[in-house]
Amino acid sequence: MPEIARVLMWVTGSCLVTELLAYWLHRLLHSGRIGFLSRNHMKHHLVIYGPAQNQRSTEYKDATTESVSLGNIGLEWLILSALLLASAIAAFHFLHVSLACQLVALGASLLWGFLMFSYLHDVMHVDGYWLEKNRWLRNWFTSARKLHDIHHQVVNPDGFMDKNFGIGFFFFDRLFGTLCPERQTLDKAGYKKAIERFSVLWRNP
């Protein structure tokens, strides 16, 4: 196999795996299964850009302010991502993957994860961002942003936000049945349950 084809294969595979793992990490953070990690994430979803709030602001309102973070990446993402990276490195070692391929795979994964789940996610909440005006990217961006708005606005009767976990692409939402293409009326009882479950966020913002 030509070297360029091998590199492209590793880059494409790494981006797809990163998208899949980030989808499941995002679902985990919304599930409440790991309490303190979910609370970190739900500050963004309930206190700053909640279902009844405007999803856009002139500048991104960072939920990690005064919290442990790497830039704007919160501790909940850092802990889980570090565990996955350590697992990937161990798997590469066990499978005797060359150092060059490891570097390509890990580099592509880190770059894709940052681009999609940090940069793109944050600018979706910024009003008038250049992506919504770009003639080649605006349709994709506004469509993805609409689905992300729905992710923030749909609350199920048990008080969980359980739709549209992708950021720029939503094929795993389609695959696993979590895609919600249209806005729904806010479930006020579910929203009340969500606030009660994470009431500590208002006591310790």
Placement of tokens 């590199």 in the chain: 7
Q: Where in the sequence is the domain holding 134, given as residue range(s)?
A: 3-203
87-96: average pLDDT:
94
The pLDDT tens digits for 95-132 are 999 999 999 999 999 999 999 999 999 999 999 999 99
The pLDDT tens digits for 32-62 are 888 888 888 999 999 999 999 999 999 999 9
Measured between alpha carbons, how far is 186 from 169 in angstroms, rounded to an integer? 24
Confidence at 69, pLDDT banded by 50, 70, 90: low
pLDDT at 93 exceeding the cut of 70: yes
Domain count, the chain: 1
**Structural tokens at position 179:** 């895609």
Task: Work out the number of other CB atoms within 10 angstroms of the CB of residue 182.
Answer: 8
Q: Which helix (H) or strand (E) holds 85?
A: helix 75-94
pLDDT at 136 exceeding the cut of 90: yes
Q: Which helix (H) or strand (E) holds 166?
A: none
Confidence at 203, pLDDT banded by 50, 70, 90: low
22-35: average pLDDT:
93
Strand partners, 73: 70
pLDDT at 71 exceeding the cut of 80: no
For all residues of the chain together, what is the average pLDDT?
A: 92
The pLDDT tens digits for 141-190 are 999 999 999 999 999 999 999 999 999 999 999 999 999 999 999 999 99
Q: What is the pLDDT of residue 193?
A: 95
Q: How far apart are the first and last CA of the chain?
A: 54
Confidence at 64, pLDDT banded by 50, 70, 90: confident
Confidence at 204, pLDDT banded by 50, 70, 90: low
Per DSSP, the three-state class of 126 is strand
